[in-house]
Chains A and B, each alone.
Chain A
């Protein structure tokens, strides 16, 4: 006999407004149906009524954990439609900011995921505190703490402030130490390992078939990272590895993200060293922008949560249709398959390891 329990949309660990309807038999999950759409704001429709550069603020609110990344995908799509080249220095700065945003996002994920497996807020608080330091750095660069809107066509709203590089280097040294500490804190805890190892396994074939992206895909042993395989900006000029694990379980997903934080720290350091001087300013918003030349463009970017692809049919001054492939959407679609047969408590470990942001999922 199965019991149907309704988890969410108001629940401590559904990462926002996600509703899960779970049929459980004893302690085993028979079926788990995610219900989404509580945060649907119709952004895809909304941008069709806005001029190109009126939309970035909407884009940032999609994924409120990594807003800058989303902003960047959209602006890059518009740039591609207009055929505008990004200035050299702006490319470097964007890379740095994107990687910092990735660190911030992964730190938030780390804290919430530790909470999901029953850690009493300790790692959550530590990770949030460190994330806040990264946000402070981004604030220095962009002027706002969370919703930056600092991408402009062809560049940025402003160059990096003086002293940014030094404070970034200091922060990276500090984070390097902290991340190692977090790893020790969790991986030397046998109960944590027990909760994560062998839970929610996605095999290689299943990962491809389910279409999961980002760290979830890489944790299943598939080495696909847009930054590496289709390099954009200056990723081609930087040394970094695509982090993969072969197990495909919650622990592999955790490990991939932890390694990615370290990789991002290395990336930012290298980019800070190699960054050329020059002009990074983009076109002001008030300027009449060049009209879009390319009718259909699609741009792929590696976001903290996975690959985001924006497919745009462009009218001269506004998008005719903007379709967003949001990484959370497709990762969450896989939840049903992954959680079949797992324990009730594992639902949250798996959900935590998928790193869902409901704003991103519902659009």
Chain B
């Protein structure tokens, strides 16, 4: 949509037009991500405040809408302290890399049937392969920072990995079976009649829980565990990089919500409104739900998460795979 518009408007064609389209698309998606992060950050603060019977930000702007901007500017103006015994390369490079990676993954998602330029063949698999690099990068950061809390957090992030990655992949396999392929556009189109959340409710629940762990949201924010490990792998990260980390947090949440919306909630399918709006609306609702969980849940212990992953999530995801095959394919 955007791409066609730009090259047509500038009268460019061929390679130059494609480059112009790509740049315009990148800018548009970046603005979308920033807007989502900003608005969701505000909504989260306000809603959690309401749940907790406080007011939340009220001072900056109407209903405190500018509070996040104020915080952002304040944090950017702080000194960046790098711990003496940290590995500077690992410590400083990992958060930007993770941010770039999660933004890149959002680029890979087609947001509407007309925006299929970035839709690659095995899209969903590529996304999950890249997504599972995140804990490893966190591991690198945790060890690079030279802080014991960060190191413990890094270990936890890798240990956690084995409890939720497999169920995620099994559920995706089931979804791929239903859609007859791992192309995201195919998966969404396969849901024009029935959402996958209705076709495989067990898979949806397993995927949602595993996604919470993937996104390190409560009750699985074990590696960030702010009242055990201070801030987990972010303990020694100072203000400018912490801003990036917060940005990363919301971007990953956006990514996760988009993935849930695409895989299970019918993606851009919906009446009346334009497809992009439907997808974003669904992603927003999923994020909102994750936020409510954050406000009410207690953190799980890591050994319990492992047990939960192996005793419940993995068998259930396998069951889901088999059921899907038996009911819909065979």
Contact = CB atoms under 8 A, between A and B. Distances in A.
Interface in B196-247: 218-219, 221-222, 225-228, 230
Nearest to B149: A5
Contacts of B149: 5
Given A118-B218, A122-B52, A129-B53, A189 B298 contact: yes
Given A125-B52, A345-B302, A116 B227 contact: yes
Contact of A191 (B53, B54, B152, B298): B298
Interface string B75-117: 0000000000000000000000000000000000000000000
Given A118-B225, A344-B152, A191 B297 contact: yes
Interface in A68-120: 114-120
B230 to A, nearest CB: 6
B254 to A, nearest CB: 20
A13 B296 CA distance: 19
Nearest to B299: A118
B295 interface: yes
A62 B22 CA distance: 66
Interface in A103-147: 114-122, 124-126, 129
Nearest to B231: A12
Given A3-B148, A118-B218, A122-B51, A189 B228 contact: no
A118 B52 contact: no
A64 interface: no
B298 A114 contact: yes
A127 B29 CA distance: 42
B230 A195 contact: no
Majority secondary structure of chain B interface residues (helix, strand, loop or mixed): loop
Contacts of B295: 120, 122
A12 B230 contact: yes
Interface residues of A, number: 33
Contacts of A344: 152, 228
B48 interface: yes
A241 interface: no
A194 interface: yes
Nearest to B307: A194
B301 A195 contact: yes
B142 to A, nearest CB: 13
Contacts of A186: 298
Contacts of A27: 302-303
A137 B219 CA distance: 36
Contact of A118 (B48, B53, B148, B221): B221
B258 to A, nearest CB: 24
A194 B228 CA distance: 17
Contacts of B222: 345
A11 B230 contact: yes
A235 interface: no
B62 interface: no
A120 B294 contact: yes
B52 A121 contact: yes
A346 interface: yes
Nearest to A119: B298
B81 to A, nearest CB: 16
7 contacts: A116-B227, A120-B48, A125-B53, A195-B298, A195-B299, A195-B301, A343-B301
Interface of A: 3, 5-6, 11-13, 27, 114-122, 124-126, 129, 185-186, 189, 191-192, 194-195, 343-348
Given A121-B48, A191-B219, A191-B304, 14 more contacts: A5-B148, A12-B230, A116-B227, A118-B218, A118-B297, A119-B297, A120-B295, A122-B51, A122-B296, A126-B52, A126-B53, A194-B300, A343-B302, A345-B299
